[in-house]
Each structure stands twice: as C-alpha cells, then as structure tokens.
Amino acid sequence: MTEKLDYEVLEKRIQELEKENSTLRLFKFAIDNLSDSRCAIVNRDCRFETVSKGYYEAFNKNADQIAGKHISEILGNQMFKTIVKPNFDKALAGEIVNFSGWFDLPGGKKKFMDIQYFPVYSGDQINSVAILVHDLTRIKKAEGLLRESEANLIKAQQIAHIGNWNWDMTEDRISCSKEFYRILGIVPECFCPTYEGYMKYVHPEDLEMFQYSVKKALTETKSKTIKYRIVRPYGIIRTVHERAEVTVDSAGNPINVFGTIQDITEQVQVEEQYQTILKLAIDGFCLVDKQGQLFDVNDSYCKMLGYERDELLKLSISDIDVVQTLEQRVQQCKKIIKTGQDRFETKHRCKDGTLIDVEINTQYSDMKKGMFICFIRDITEKNKIREALKKGEIRYRNLFEGAPVMYAIIKNQKESTIITDCNKQFLTTLGYSRSEVIGKSISEFYTQESQKKLIKEESFRRSMENNFTASERELIGSDGRIINTLIQAVPEYDVQGNIIGGRSMYIDTTSQKRAEEQLRENHELLLMIVDGISDPLMMVDEKMNLMMMNAAAENYFKKNNETCLGRKCYQVFKMRQSLCEGCKLAKAISKGRQKSFERKGLMNPEKLERVCVYPVRKKGDNIRTAILRISDITRVKRIEKELIQADKMISLGVLVSGVAHEINNPNHLIMLNTPILWEAWEDIVPVVEKYYHQNGDFSLAGVLYSEMRDEIPLLFAAIKEGAVRIQRIVQDLKDFSRQDDTHMDQLVNINQVIENSIRLTENLIKKHTEHFKIEYSQNLPMVMGDQQKLEQVMINLIQNACQAVSDKKKAIFITSFFDEKKAMIEVEVRDEGVGIPQEMLDRIMDPFFTTKRSKGGTGLGLAVSSNIVKSFGGKIEVESDLGKGSVFKIFIPTRKFEYPVKILVADDDPFFREYLHKALGETERYSLREAVNGKEAFLKIGQELPDLFILDIQMPDMDGLDVCRLLKEKSELSDIKVIIITGFPESFIVDEIVKMGFDKILAKPFTIIELKKTIEKVMEVE
C-alpha cells in the first residue's frame, strides 16, 4: 500500500515537472524570439545556469560556451565589480532591481541597456537570479536623431535661406518663421501679418504676376511654385522661390495656405554666370534626358556640328552618335546612372555629313527626372596626332631593337639611375638576359674605374645638364670581358623642367681603341709640330673648304677650328658667297704647282704678307688639297725699305755736304758785297738826283730813272733776303746730313723741353690762336738724350701746328703722359687746322717734301725731327682728318731690356725638352737651360738662379711636388717665378702644389703660343 502511494506521488510529481518544463520551454521560446530582449539565469555563485539565444549571440558565442561560466569571464571583471555584483546582491536579498545606461561591450560595441534583476524562489529560498536585458540603443539613437533633426531643420533653414509661413484665410493672418523675416530683411514688429501687408514687399514689376499666381492656386486648390523678386528696406532687391499648399474645407473652399519661401538670389546669379560660361566655353555642352533627347546646347556645340540651336534641339543623341547602337547606349546610360559619371570617346555626325571624333565627359543629375550633363570636345586632330605617334612608336621600337649599337633608357631614382629598358644589342653584347638588366643600376655594368669616374666627375649628372654629350666608359660583360664604349646621352625632363632620366647610346669601340690611341699620339705630335710653327697654316681642298688651321692661324683670323672647318674659305674670311675674283689659291690647286705671292695683310691692310701655296695629293685619292702658309713680311719689307732709304740718305748726305759747301761760298760773297753795293748806291743817289733835276729823266738798264730810283732799294733788299734764305737752307742740309751723338748722354725732362719750346714760340702761338692748352703728366721718368735737339723737334711741331690753323678761334693742344705698359713717354701736339690729305701722310717725313713751299717751307723740318726722335729709339706717328686737324705723336722709350729672361726647364721627356729648346732657344728674349729630373733641377736652381722655372710634376728620383716643397723652404729662392706643366691638372698633387702658392698651371698638351703668353704674363714683360 505504501509503495503504491509513493508511486502515485512520484508520477504526479513527474507530471508537474513536465508541465513546468513545457511552460519553461514556451517561456524560453518567447524570450528567444523577443526582439531586443535577452535573458539569463544566474545561480548564487554568479555562474550562468541558462541563457537566451539573444544573450549568447550578443557575445558571438553559443549556449555551451556561456553555461557554467562566471559572470566576470563573460562581461569582464571591471563591469562585474562595478555594476553587476551590487545589483545581483540586492536581488539575492529579495529586491527587484532596475538599472539602465550605456555599456561598452566586448568587441568595441557601445549599447544602451535597461537591465532588471529578479530573484528566483525555490520554495522559500532564493536559489538564483533572473537577469532580463532590454537593448534600447535604437530607441535612444532615434530620440537623439529626432532632437538633432529638429535642430538641424532650424539650422538648415538658415543655411538654405528657406523660411516657412502659414496663411489662415479665415482670419487673414499670416504666421512666419524667423528665417522668413530674415529673408525679408525686417523684424517681426515691422511686419503686418496679412496678405495685403505682404504685398508691399513684392517687386512692382512682379506684383501682377504674383497676384495672378496666388489667384490661380486658390482657384485650382493645388500646390504651386513661383519665382519672383522682393524689395527689402533701403531698396535691396532679392529673388525668392516660393512653394505653397492649399487646404480646403468640406465644401472645397480654401481656408488655409501653408508655404515655404527660399532666397535664391545667389543661385540666380550663379545660373546667369553658368549660362555665360556655357556660351563662352570652347568645348561643346549639352543636356540630354533619359530618352536621349537633347534638352539644351551651347553655341560651341552648335558650331562644332554646324547646326543652328533650334535645329539641334529637335534631334536626339541617336541622330548624332554614329558609333553606339541603341542597346550600347542604354547600357552606357545605366553605367553612368550607377557610377554618377563617365568619360568616353565616340564619333558624331555633323550637319554636312562629315564625322568628327569627340571626347565626352558626362555626369548624371537627378534634376528634371534625370539629366545627363555632357561636355564634348572635338579630338579629331588629336586622334590624328595620336595615330601618327602610334605609328612613330612602332617605327621607333623597330629601330630601337634593330639598331647595331647598344641603347638603354634610364630613370633617376633617389641617388641611382635605373635601367628601365634596353635593346637586343645591349643584351647580346654584354651577355645578359633582359630580367638581369631591367631594374638594375647602370653603374653595376661599369668597371670599377668607370664607376670611380662616374662618382668623381658626376659625368652622368653633367650629361643630363646638357642637351647632348658624349663620353667614354668601360662596360663589363657577364663573362668578365671589358668592353670599351662611347656613350652618348640625351636628358629627359618632366613638365616642371626637372631631369628625370635619359636615353643613352653605347657604341662598342673596343676594336678601335688601340688604333685610335696610336692615331691620337701621332695626331698630337703633328698638332704640336704644326702649332709650333709661328706662321699661320691652313689646309683647303679643291672646293675651297677649310680642312685645318694651326694655332697661329686661329689667332691670326680670330676664329677657331670648330666654327671654320668644313666651310668655304671665302665665306669664313671674306663673307662672300662665291670664289674671290682672280683667286691664286684655286689656280695653284688646280694646276698642282707650288706658288707664292705677296699682298696686303688680309686682317690688317697696313701689313704685308707672303702667301705660299703647297699643293698636296694623297696616293690613290683624286681630291686635291693645298697647304697655305702666311708669313708677315712687313718688318722685312720695312727693313728693306729702311735700308734703301738709309742708302739714299747716306748718298744724299754726301751730296748735300758737297753742295752745301759749293753754294755757301758764292752766297757768302753775295751776303758780303750786297751791303757794300747798297752803301755805294746811297752815296751815288745825291749825284744822280742832281743830274736828274738839271737834265731831266734818263734811262738806266732800259728803265727811266724816275721809275728805277724807287725799285733799286727793293732790289737790294730782295737780294739780301734771298741770300739769307739760301744760308738757312744750307744750314738745314748740314743738320740733316750730320749725325751728331755727342750730347746724347744728358738726362732730359720732357716737360721742361715742352716749356722751353713754348717760351721760344710764344709770339708765334699768340699770333695764330687764342686757344692754346697744355696738359702735363706729373712724375714723368727722365730720358737719356740731347735736350736741345728735342726742343728743336717740339719747336718744329709747334710751328707746323700754328701754320696749320687758319683761324685764331681754332685750338692747339699739347699733352704729355707715360705709358707704363709700353714703357714709353708720349707727347701729343694736336691742332684744329686744315689737316693733311691721306695720300700725303706717308711722305711728310721725306726730305724736301713740303706743302708750304710758296711760304718758304724747305721740307726738311719733319725729316730732321724724325731723325732726332729715332736717335732716342723712338718714333713720330701722324693722324690727320682733312678739314678737322692733325695729331703728331712723339714716342720716346724710357728703358730697354738689357738681359734675356733666364729659363730653367725640368722634364724627364727628352723630346719635350728638345721641343721647348727649338721653340724658345737662345734668343734676345730667352736664355734656356735644362734639367732631366727633380734633383738636377734643384741643384741648377741654386747655381744659376733663373728668372723662370718651368717644372713638370711626374719625374723620377724627385717629383715636382718635392721640388716645390724645397723651393717653399728656401726663402732665398722666393723671387723665382714658377710655371707647373702637367697632363693631369685635376689631380690631388696639383691641388697640394697650388695650396703652396704655385698657382700658374699649364695643362698638357699646349701650344708654343700658349706657353709664350703664359711666360710673358708671369714675367710681366712686353
């Protein structure tokens, strides 16, 4: 009986539990599917017993991963201690706890939760706590958005200049927003809130249109939009856009109107500017609706297609576009609507049927139920150029790959130059594959020596700075072979003008290197020999093309080989377009015979030249050439002329000496007897006069006495004057023929000579000019000579100047000064007289030549003066301008070089020493000594103390650097001038020598002319 009772109790309990379980499952299902709600049962140990689906999904876990876990393991220790534990303890005490707030959940989520803690009883005991979580995040955010939306609406009205109003027609009262008043530019107190009150602000020109629109809207009881102008206080005009909705009563009568007003003044101005821009735009513009119909076009698009605007607006895009099919255009439009914009190329048909290539840049806009905004550019010419460039690129690539030389394209990247492309020849020659070359630095393919040059000289950087450069480089192949190349590089620039890379061409010169070096040595030797010749040398071919000029020729013509070679000689030197008339050079070349002739100087007509033509013809070569040698024979001819003149002067002197003696004796008798005859005549006159008065007139020498008695005194005076003139001529002849140097050892002050001469000719000067000016140079050096003879020269020049001026208003100037460079004292006597004809200037120094013979001139004054100045080692030069005056310049030297410059040459090359010895040698100017090495040179310096030391750097035993150090240490040798010669002027040894003060560097190879100029500059000699 007891067992049956226990069984019934157990069965009943099972049924109760199943009922509870069913209820719990139903509750759990409801909780699991309750939106934004989550539930969890937690035991007294703070461990989860069960959780709802929403709870464990919120933590990206399943139920098994949460059940049995401590709360702190799921929510974190911090949240557990600060929030969960205090509320949990209250629930265990039987209190229902409600808590809400923002929570930072795992995974960076932030949620607003409303959490309720319910105690769960088992009998009278609280065994667990039910936690019900409501996610109110969306509600809270919606509340915030609503508040934000309200604030934004107010702000948006301010930003968009949109106000709103409500017109209660039953009471005729208008209520407005703040923005409404701001748009009208008034305050609420100044506004009458009625329909008639608002009319006052409508622009008079728009008032009728406004009233009509209001009436129509009230009649049709439809929404209405209108654009009109308002007038603010102070006459400010604004444009507004207004939209209104009409409310009617049950009978259909309007009782209320609600509307918005927007200030669109700026928008209207922008639209006007937009229309102006479209009108002036170079590119075409059109608006196209979704059906492809043209809605608007600008003038440029009309002009592009040849249509009038009205004609074009009647067309659709399918009437113009000839490339796309209807289906393609539909797909294109869908793509533009999806992406918002697109750029593509197509062809458009013009009105005349021609097709043009166009580029279209289009954007989609929602305005007017969808519009495509299109900008069209005619790219017909651009495509032609593009096609030509494409063909050119193909040709370039074929040439690039097929070229028999190596090509590489390089780009600057930071501090390196990277190969971005190369041709097949580059890969074949070096033995690399393309992948082994592209992307590598060009320097990796250089030998170490070439890399050093690249770094030291920055050759590539310099090549990029020029338009086109060439330099030698050694490349290394994949098998270690050294390949000599000639690199030519052209730079590439970006749009800012910065160098970004370049194109390099490498020519394999390995096989030519040895031959070129030999040829270069021979060529340098030949150039040294040719440049060592002081006469200008040129080579021309039978067509008169210049083939070569030596250094003397370059200096002679003031032109260099680079600008002359390959051009016609008559073009370069005569600026002619055809062969010179009677050209002797052409005849000599054509006949193949040597010829020489003399001529006036080509560059300086005052000089005389001998031109020698030496025809040259290579074996097996039909081209004839000739070498010209131009020799300055001015000095030779002058010496010859002077010798002839000197011989004439000697003969003339002998003749003059004898003639002067023979003339002087009878002239002496005339001068002696004429006064006696005059006294006799004076004694006879009274007797003859008495006879005349007694007997009348009578004849004397066939002339009546009455006429003769007045003439006879004049005859005696003329005889006396003629005798004196003969005496003066004879004396000048004696002075001219006599070479008297007995007083040439006097120290003469030139300024004192001028003062004495002016004092002796003072009356003559005052008689001929009122403008006589003197300018003395102070501290003139003294000269050796005869002061009386120099005074004779100055007096003669002053007399000539006085006789040359025809008017006392004309001036005479005398100036003295010292030319330190020429070591000459110069005296100028300048007049503003009649001048001397050019054809007479060469003869005025000749004896007996005069233009004043009618005035008693003998023609000996300037000849004697010239001889006197020459005895001082000087000369007289004359410049004259007919009708403007003449300038006589006296040049008198103050010093002469008594000793040649002593030069010591130190060089271990015997050929070079011999070359310098032949070029400089033992002359009046230079005295040359030699040393074969540094030791010998230093010994000879101490023994001979040269004026100039020419020193090579590279020598055995003791090099140039050691010699310079010893010279620096010896103060007694500090006065010796030093010229350093070297083939390596950029070496560090030269830098060391320059730092010691020896800065006169002459780089090999050099010409004799360059050496002599350097010597003269260093020694400061003429």
Alpha-carbon span 46 to 61, nearest angstrom? 19
- The answer to whether residues 931 and 913 touch, using CB atoms and an 8 Å cutoff, is no
Residue 813 pLDDT exceeds 90? yes
Give pLDDT tens digits for 760-798.
788 888 888 988 999 988 878 877 777 778 888 888 888
Highest mean pLDDT among 9-18, 48-57, 272-281, 989-998: 989-998
Q: Give, rounded to a whole angstrom, the gap between the first and last alpha carbons of the chain.
A: 159
> Per the structure block, which two tokens stand in for 137?
């995040």
- The residue behind tokens 């040398």 is 537
| pLDDT for residue 417 | 84
- Picking from 825, 906, 911, 914, the residue whose alpha carbon sits closest to that of residue 872 is 825
Q: Determine the Cα–Cα distance for residues 874 and 893; give it in Å rounded to an integer.
A: 6
- Mean of the per-residue pLDDT values of the chain: 80
Token reading at 130: 């039910």
pLDDT for 26 equals 46
Residue corresponding to tokens 């004839």: 624
pLDDT at 422: 92
**Pairing between β-strand 926-931 and β-strand 901-906 as defined by DSSP bridges:** parallel
pLDDT value of residue 349: 92
Q: For residue 74, what pLDDT is reported?
A: 78
User: Residue 59, Cα to own-chain centre: how many angstroms?
Assistant: 71
pLDDT at residue 828 greater than cutoff 90 = yes
Give the model's confidence band at 463: pLDDT under 50 very low, under 70 low, under 90 confident, else very high: very low
- Residue 163 burial by Cβ neighbours in a 10 Å radius (0-12, 13-18, 19+): buried
- Domain topology for 901-1020: Rossmann fold (3.40.50)
pLDDT in the model for residue 251: 83
Residue 815 has pLDDT above 80, yes or no: yes
Q: Span 529-538, mean pLDDT? A: 81
Which CATH number does the domain 279-378 belong to among 3.30.450.20, 3.40.50.1580, 3.40.50.1980, 2.40.50.140?
Answer: 3.30.450.20
CB neighbour list of residue 321: distance below 8 Å, 6 or more residues apart: 329, 346, 347, 348, 349
Q: What is the signed CA dihedral for 226, 227, 233, 235, rounded to 10 degrees?
A: -140
CA 125 vs. chain centroid, Å, equals: 100
- Of 248-252, 561-565, 695-699, 901-905, which range is least confident? 561-565
Fold exhibited by the domain 519-636: Beta-Lactamase (3.30.450)
Q: What is the per-residue pLDDT for 930?
A: 86
Between β-strands 595-600 and 875-881, what pairing exists: parallel, antiparallel or unpaired? unpaired
- Residue 1021: pLDDT above 50? no
Q: Is the pLDDT of residue 498 over 60?
A: yes
HEC secondary structure over 155-218: HHHHHHCEEEEEEECCCCEEEECHHHHHHHCCCHHHCCCCHHHHHCCECHHHHHHHHHHHHHHH
From CA 165, how far away is CA 279, in angstroms rounded?
Answer: 39
d(CA 614, CA 946): 42
Please say if the pLDDT value at position 493 is more than 90.
no
pLDDT of residue 647: 53
- Any idea which residue has 């003869």 for tokens? 843
Read off the tokens for 238: 């604004």
Top CATH class, 397-514: alpha beta
Residue 141 is encoded by which pair of tokens? 């955010």
pLDDT confidence bin for 348, thresholds 50/70/90? very high
Residue 475 corresponds to which amino acid? L
Q: Structure tokens of 882? A: 């007919």
Query: Would you call the peptide bond into 536 cis, given omega within 30 degrees of 0 as the criterion?
Result: no
* Residue of 476 and 146 predicted with greater confidence: 476
Angle at 761 between CA 757 and CA 765, to 5 degrees: 120
Topology (CATH level 3) of domain 161-268: Beta-Lactamase (3.30.450)
Task: For residue range 164-193, list pLDDT tens digits in order.
Answer: 889 888 888 888 888 888 888 888 888 888
Three-state secondary structure string covering 67-99: CCCEHHHHHCHHHHHHHHHHHHHHHHCCCCEEE
Of 267, 222, 215, nearest to 243 by C-alpha is: 222
The pLDDT, as a whole number, for residue 629 is 85
252 vs 310, higher pLDDT: 310
Confidence at residue 359, expressed as pLDDT on a 0 to 100 scale: 92
Provide CB contacts within 8 A for 377, sequence distance 6+: 283, 284, 358, 359, 360, 361
**Top-tier CATH class for 741-893:** alpha beta
Single out the residue of 967, 940, 811 nearest to residue 886, CA to CA.
811
Quote the distance between the C-alpha of residue 338 and its chain's center.
51
Rounded CA-CA distance 691/705 in Å is 11
Residue 599: strand pairing partners: 609
pLDDT at 897: 41
Say if strands 783-785 and 746-748 run parallel, antiparallel, or are unpaired: antiparallel
In the numeric block, which tokens belong to residue 145? Answer: 């958005």
CA angle 946, 948, 954 (to 5 degrees): 105
Report CA dihedral (763, 767, 769, 774) to the nearest 10 degrees. Answer: 0
Which one is predicted more confidently, 577 or 924?
A: 577
- Residue 713, preceding bond cis, omega within 30 degrees? no
Does residue 27 register a pLDDT over 60? no
What are 391-436's pLDDT values in tens digits?
888 888 888 888 888 989 888 887 778 998 999 989 988 999 999 9
Distance (Å, whole) CA 792 – CA 788: 6
Structural domain boundaries in the chain: 1-29, 34-142, 161-268, 279-378, 397-514, 519-636, 741-893, 901-1020
> In 3D, which of 234, 255, 237 has the Cα closest to residue 245?
255
Q: Return all residues near 658 (Cβ < 8 A) that are at least 6 apart.
A: none
Tell me which of 306-310, 511-515, 685-689, 726-730 is least confident. 726-730
- pTM for this predicted structure: 0.30
**Residue 644 CA: distances (Å) to CA of 634, 637, 848, 882:** 15, 10, 17, 31
Give the rounded distance of the alpha carbon of 867 from its chain centre: 60
Please calculate the CA angle 747-749-750 and round it to the nearest 5 degrees.
Answer: 130
Tell me what the mean pLDDT of segment 275-288 comes to: 80
Of the ranges 94-108, 202-216, 617-631, the best mean pLDDT one = 202-216
Exposure of 980 in the CB half-sphere (CA atoms within 13 A): 26
Q: Mean pLDDT across the stretch 380-386?
A: 89
Closest CA to 55 of 73, 27, 77, 74: 74
- What is the model's pLDDT at position 362? 92
pLDDT at 561 > cutoff 70: yes
Classify residue 129 by its DSSP letter. Answer: E
pLDDT at 355: 93
Query: In angstroms, rounded to a whole number, what is the distance separating the alpha carbons of residues 563 and 553?
Result: 13
Q: Are 878 and 841 in contact (CB under 8 A)?
A: yes
Q: In 10 A of CB 217, how many CB atoms?
A: 20
More confident of the two residues 100 and 638:
100
Going by pLDDT thresholds of 50, 70 and 90, the confidence category of residue 229 is very high
Mean pLDDT computed over 332-336: 89
Tell me the percentage of the chain whose pLDDT exceeds 90. 7
Is 11 a residue whose pLDDT tops 80?
no
pLDDT given for residue 645 in this prediction: 59
pLDDT more than 70, % of the chain: 85
Please tell me the predicted confidence (pLDDT) of residue 931.
86
| The predicted structure's pLDDT at residue 31 | 55
Give the integer Cα–Cα distance in Å for 783 and 787: 10
More confident residue, 215 or 527: 215
What three-state secondary structure class fits 800? helix
What is the reported pLDDT for 860? 65
Position 154 confidence tier, pLDDT thresholds 50, 70, 90: low
What is the torsional sign of CA 479, 480, 486, 489?
positive
Domain formed by 34-142, architecture: 2-Layer Sandwich (3.30)
User: Quick check: do 161-268 and 279-378 share a fold?
Assistant: yes
pLDDT at position 854 is 52
Q: Are 488 and 470 in contact (CB under 8 A)?
A: yes
Q: What is the pLDDT of residue 459?
A: 47
Report the C-alpha gap between 557 and 20 in whole angstroms: 128
Pick from 302-306, 452-456, 531-535, 1008-1012: least confident: 452-456
Which of 105-119, 698-712, 963-977 is least confident?
A: 105-119
Which residues, in sequence order, are bridge partners of residue 931?
A: 906
- The residues, ordered by sequence, that sit 6+ positions from 745 with a Cβ below 8 Å of its Cβ are 784
